[in-house]
Chains A and B, each alone.
With several copies, the nearest count.
Chain A
Amino acid sequence: MTLETHLRAVREGGRTALVPYVTGGITESWTDLLAAYEAAGADAIEIGLPFSDPMLDGVTIQEASDRSLARGTTVESILSDLAGISVGIPLIAMTYANLALRDGFCARLRAAGVVALVVPDVPLDEVSDLERSAAAAGVELVLLAAPSTPPAKLPEIATRSRGFLYAISRMGTTGEAGELAESATVLADAIRNATDLPVLVGFGVSTPAHAVHAARHADGVVVASTLMRALLDGATPSEVGARVAAMRTALDTMAP
């Protein structure tokens, strides 16, 4: 089953997709988070493969990446950590072009059981090479759209995106936010107008209320910085998992 099929099924089941994030290798026992997320009701998990120069990340994910790299994390080490565990929900890799465009990268992801890939610094116009190698390896390449993306361009992004379409909630980097940006819902609506591919909103989805708000306009949410912040501040995997569970609950009980 592809990620896309999976997310369509989630949507058809009347459920909002919840995709929590973890920076691969951030702690020795980082894979415990995968289990915690799954247990908390996540529908898929995004795993960040840390890059030295994460251009679209705010301070939290930067710090998470730096901490992981300082531990000696490599793409290899993350993928081999995954080999040792089994997760019942799809795994999505997130990383930057300089890592993603290396020879054999997509094939290695697939071999480790990762089914999809998000590369924020490869926009539609630059996507051909990566699209080819992802397709060849059987990895679904998720494209992104931003509030600044002209509506006229959304159909093409949607057509070429695999898995889902990642709606960047705001003109800014990843990072916790006080409110979900107005731009998030505007963009999600526009995307829904252009495609029936599942749409997930990410960037600044920090609280159950944000998630609920986003879910009114999208098929799901990606939650990252708020979880990594908790982890960096010393929360245990189960405490972080509890946050995901809280979101799950909120989403499942939201007013229709």
Chain B
Amino acid sequence: MRDAPAVDRIRAGQMAEPSTAGRFGGFGGRFVPESLVPACQEVERAFREAWADPRFRGQLDRLLAGYAGRPTALTPAWRLSGDLGITLLLKREDLAHTGSHKINNVLGQALLARRMGKTRLIAETGAGQHGVATATAAALLGMRATVFMGQRDIERQALNVFRMEMLGAEVVPVTSGSRTLKDSCNEAMRHWVGAVEDSYYCIGSVMGPHPYPWMVREFQRVIGDEARTQCATELPAAVPDYVVACVGGGSNAAGTFAGFVDTSARLIGVEAAGGAAMTDGAVGVLHGFRSRVLQDDQGQIAEAHSVAAGLDYPGIGPEHAHLGELGRATYVTVGDDEVVAAVHRLARSEGILCALESAHAVAWVIRAAESGELPPGATVLLTLSGRGDKDMSALMELA
């Protein structure tokens, strides 16, 4: 990890609105076919209006509280903290309805879609968590939902497919390319081109064309805002020394960081070693935005490989690329073995079975505390993005 940047200098204005072109520094934008530009503009317009409308905010807040179970708890991980010689606080997105932070974003977008007069949600999904969240919101608001999912993921995540179908969603197998998440994104985008009239594309992370990376971060900032308030009660210094979250596309991290970007907290995003767009990627354009992307030396997109299906994404949200470039956030990687060990360790020490995605953040904290990279006594806020139920059969196979 690098030294702490001169936070005061750069933090002002961080994680505010992107430029009118949807840029975070040199990243972001709206690299979509001309066919989709008006649809993206319509989403942007609608989001700006809605986000400034107290009635919309009130509606969303009511759903987040009365339906999704917010605020989620902040749990001091006493036993693990003791073992590691730090103070570790867990922001419990695993307790949110449907089992991860994905619901925060999806409720926001689904309400927005309804407000725009759309009757159908389109979504891509990898592990199925975003697909389940989308199917859930569609059921709740009486909309239709179509979820694109790679054929390989469908086979790996049969239970989530069934959950989506029970919720009334149509799950469309994607057989192109690597038949995983990135191909589902392509396919959802392709489908959207032909369905913009009545359909809203509900993107699952801080990715895609403007305004999605910004909008999804805004819908997820509830994580960071809540955690900020909760830390103020829980920590003598009010603000933790470190704020840690796993990064696939980067939505739970973005939402978390947004609550702390204006503080002295060091922000750490943890990527899967096999899908580390920040560490191993190069600047490129994928799925409508410019960011760091895993690609070969020809510019062909590489497949990401992680034990956590939700981190199997070759890109990273553009704002993360920007925060990384600025040095305001630091991006690190952990390997599958550490991650699986971290799931087990958290289970045994705190009684929490977290998602493999979330375990990336846990694994880094364990490693950094044990190596001394995290100084003894450090206070750490970690966003536990989801629960591990969906991963049990994968873990059983590994066991």
Residues of A with Cβ closer than 8 Å to B? 51-59, 62, 66, 69, 74-76, 96-99, 101-102, 120-126, 143-150, 157, 168, 170-173
Contact = CB atoms under 8 A, between A and B. Distances in A.
Contacts, number: 111
Given A53-B286, A75-B298, A121-B285, A62 B35 contact: no
Nearest to A170: B194
Give 9 closest A-B pairs by Cβ, nearest first: A146-B35, A97-B285, A172-B194, A52-B300, A146-B34, A52-B301, A98-B284, A123-B34, A98-B285
B300 A55 contact: no
Interface in B14-39: 21, 29-39
B299 interface: yes
A102 B30 CA distance: 17
A99 B298 CA distance: 8
Contacts of A172: 190, 193-194
B375 to A, nearest CB: 41
30 contacts: A51-B299, A52-B177, A52-B300, A53-B301, A55-B190, A55-B288, A56-B35, A56-B190, A66-B177, A96-B285, A97-B285, A98-B284, A98-B285, A98-B293, A98-B299, A99-B299, A101-B285, A120-B34, A121-B288, A122-B31, A123-B30, A143-B34, A145-B34, A146-B34, A149-B35, A149-B38, A170-B194, A171-B194, A171-B196, A172-B193
Contacts of A121: 31-33, 285, 288
B190 A58 contact: yes
Contacts of B36: 148
Contacts of A148: 34-39, 196
B41 to A, nearest CB: 9
A59 B176 contact: yes
B189 interface: yes
B118 to A, nearest CB: 15
B390 interface: no
Chain A interface, >50% SS class: loop
B295 interface: yes
A225 to B, nearest CB: 13
B288 A98 contact: no
A123 B177 contact: no
Contact of B190 (A76, A102, A173): A173
A197 to B, nearest CB: 15
Given A98-B301, A121-B31, 5 more contacts: A55-B186, A69-B300, A74-B298, A121-B285, A144-B33
Contacts of A168: 33-35
B interface, over-half SS: mixed
Q: Which of B35, B39, B287, B301 has the most CB of A within 10 A?
A: B35
Interface of B: 21, 29-39, 176-177, 182-183, 186, 189-190, 193-194, 196, 284-288, 290, 293, 295, 298-301
Nearest to B296: A52
A54 B287 CA distance: 10
B31 A97 contact: yes
Nearest to A77: B298
A97 B29 CA distance: 12
A75 B34 CA distance: 24
A89 to B, nearest CB: 26
Given A66-B177, A121-B288, A172-B194, A149 B300 contact: no
B176 A120 contact: no
B354 to A, nearest CB: 31
B295 A120 contact: no
Nearest to B21: A125
B294 to A, nearest CB: 11
A53 B186 contact: yes
A126 B35 CA distance: 14
A75 B301 CA distance: 14
Which of A58, A122, A148 has its CB near the most chain B CB atoms (within 10 A)?
Answer: A148
A124 B32 CA distance: 10
A98 B38 contact: no
A221 B300 CA distance: 29
A173 B193 CA distance: 7
A230 B375 CA distance: 65
A54 B284 CA distance: 14
A247 B295 CA distance: 39
Contacts of B290: 101
Nearest to A69: B300
